[in-house]
Amino acid sequence: MTETIQKLLKKFEQEHEVYIDAQDAKSYWMVNARLPKKQESLHNLHKARKYISSRNEEGSVLVLPNPAISDSYSIESWGTMNTFEDFVNKALARILEDLAESDRGGEGCESGCD
């Protein structure tokens, strides 16, 4: 991972209280994010998100809304991503959408949907 991407991730973490781990592996790209939950509590609670893709997926991204407690996933199309930096930038934009949804009170299907 380049120094530019590391700085971008660190800045994003500080601005949004989202903890991010990104991996540029040989055969895939992955971003793990822990987003803050909007709950009244003494503790800062976070929910996990995982985004996985690769150079050969033509913009398809596997999204795991809470990989620690559920096997559910969705597949999204994020458009052209030729580099790991493209993927990271689109993942950060998607994380901001998740934060906005959380701010509006929508939590999605974190503990399973029927």
Domain extent at residue 22: 3-103
What phi and psi, each to the nearest 5 degrees, are found at residue 48? -95, 150
Considering the domain boundaries, does residue 111 fall inside one? no
Give the per-residue pLDDT at 43. Answer: 46
Considering the domain boundaries, does residue 39 fall inside one? yes
pLDDT tens digits in sequence order for the chain, 114 residues long: 789 999 999 999 999 988 999 999 989 999 999 887 665 554 446 678 999 998 888 899 999 988 878 789 999 999 999 999 999 999 999 999 988 886 676 554 444 433
Point out which residues pair with 48 in neighbouring strands.
34
Provide the 8-state DSSP code for 26: S
CA distances to 18, 49, 51, 87, 112 from 29, in Å: 19, 14, 8, 8, 26
Considering the domain boundaries, does residue 110 fall inside one? no
Q: How many domains does the chain have?
A: 1
Give the per-residue pLDDT at 96. Answer: 93
Give the per-residue pLDDT at 42. Answer: 46
- Rounded CA separation 20/72 (Å): 20
Considering the domain boundaries, does residue 31 fall inside one? yes
Considering the domain boundaries, does residue 99 fall inside one? yes
Instruction: Please report where in the chains the tokens 């503790």 appear, as a residue.
Output: 43
